[in-house]
Amino acid sequence: MIKREHGYAILHNEDDITGRLAYHYASKMKIAKRAVELVNDGDTIMIENGSCCALLALELAATKKNLTIVTNSTYIARSLRQRQSSFQIVILGGLYQTDSECLVGPMVRTDAENYNVELFFIGTDGYNSRSGFANKDQMRAQAVRDMANSCDKLVILTESEKFNLHSTIPLNIKNKAQLLITDDKIAKDTLDELMQKDIEVLVV
């Protein structure tokens, strides 16, 4: 959450994925470990940028073999390459966002169109009852929409705190089958609402 300087410390940029990994780390790890159970050796999956997604990638590297990972996250690609030589890693092209270490823009859509996967793992910055899951960054939200066109099911990985946050850019993913994996602090009324919207929920 912080970066040490000479004689003092400063808060990480909230877009910096290294800093975001530290927030609710234990909950995120439980979510990542449950998500790993959806993946089999030899699968091809998509993973977008995000802290829960980054922890998922590390758990996949520790437990699976011969996966093909399609991602717009250079952070995830680098982490996987350092830990798992049997994985094939495909990085979607685009404009590089330095802090979040991900690629965005129209090239993401063009590259993603060359794939058809069963599962696409994403994170979220917030949730709104009217518009659903959301992101605070327009370009990253569009990257999720573009990549989602190439999957059968979206798997949303997020800690329950995000349901108290209302980010401004809806992901607009209502037309896709959705599975949410979150922690057991999610409110019952929120859980009931999600299930009424035909969103499958796994609580860890």
Domains of the chain by start residue, with CATH = 24-203 (3.40.50.1360)
DSSP string, 70-89: EESBHHHHHHHHHH-TT-EE
> Looking at the predicted structure, is the pLDDT value of residue 101 above 70?
yes
Binned at pLDDT 50, 70 and 90, residue 158 comes out as: very high
- Strand ranges, E, within 12-114: 44-47, 68-71, 88-91, 95-97, 102-104
pLDDT cut 90: percent of the chain above it: 75
Say whether pLDDT at 61 is over 80: yes
Q: Determine the distance from the C-alpha atom of residue 164 to the mean position of all C-alpha atoms in its chain, rounded to a whole number.
A: 18
Query: pLDDT tens across 104-125, in order?
Result: 999 999 999 999 999 999 999 9
